[in-house]
């Protein structure tokens, strides 16, 4: 059972780390880079990014991180001492918040931007950008912080487990 405990916790940590990296990349490079562009470039780039990210690799990491964190917690239940378990549960909750934020805020904003029309034909790109940018960036920062915190929790759980206390 110990190989499953170790393997699932390592896999969960890697998965959550990958997602933290994606959110962080948007927070510190993609969105600041796009902030400096005109409305047409901004809308066209975000629409293209939002289409490109809908792929199997992204969904595997996005949903797999939650599933693997859940598995890492579940396999802890069969062990004697479980000091890693509260950290895994905290990571599960924090990462779950990133999924909720994505579904409740970021995806609807992405869909709204797509509904604004093609950048070359849309009537008011400035208004579409205004409805999108500040809110999307703010909530991306929130999900970035939650995901980095989840990654930290899993890293701590790994350390406890490696010390033979998990």
- Run means of pLDDT, 10 residues per run, the chain, 166 residues: 90 98 98 96 95 96 98 87 92 98 98 86 85 98 98 97 73
> Residue 79: its pLDDT value, please?
67
Task: Name the nearest CA neighbour of 155 among 13, 15, 7, 11.
Answer: 13
What is the domain partition of the chain in residue ranges? 2-162
What's the predicted TM-score (pTM) here? 0.93
> Residue 166: its pLDDT value, please?
45
Cα–Cα distance between 93 and 24 in angstroms, integer? 19
17's enclosing H/E stretch is helix 2-25
- Residues 103/106/109/113 CA torsion (nearest 10 deg): -120
Quote the crossing angle between the two packed helices 125-162 and 107-115, to the nearest 10°.
160
């Amino acid at each position: 059972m110990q190989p499953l405990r170790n393997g699932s916790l390592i896999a969960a940590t890697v998965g959550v780390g990958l997602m933290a990296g994606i959110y962080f990349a948007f927070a510190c490079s993609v969105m600041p880079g796009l902030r400096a562009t005109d409305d047409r470039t901004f809308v066209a780039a975000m629409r293209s990014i939002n289409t490109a990210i809908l792929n199997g690799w992204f969904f595997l990491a996005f949903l797999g991180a939650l599933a693997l964190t859940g598995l890492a917690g579940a396999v802890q239940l069969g062990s004697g001492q479980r000091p890693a378990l509260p950290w895994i549960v905290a990571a599960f909750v924090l990462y779950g918040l990133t999924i909720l934020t994505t579904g409740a805020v970021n995806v609807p904003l992405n869909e709204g931007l797509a509904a604004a029309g093609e950048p070359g034909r849309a009537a008011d790109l400035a208004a579409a950008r205004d409805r999108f940018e500040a809110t999307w960036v703010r909530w991306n920062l929130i999900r970035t912080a939650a995901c980095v915190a989840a990654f930290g929790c899993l890293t701590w759980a790994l350390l406890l487990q490696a010390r033979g206390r998990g």
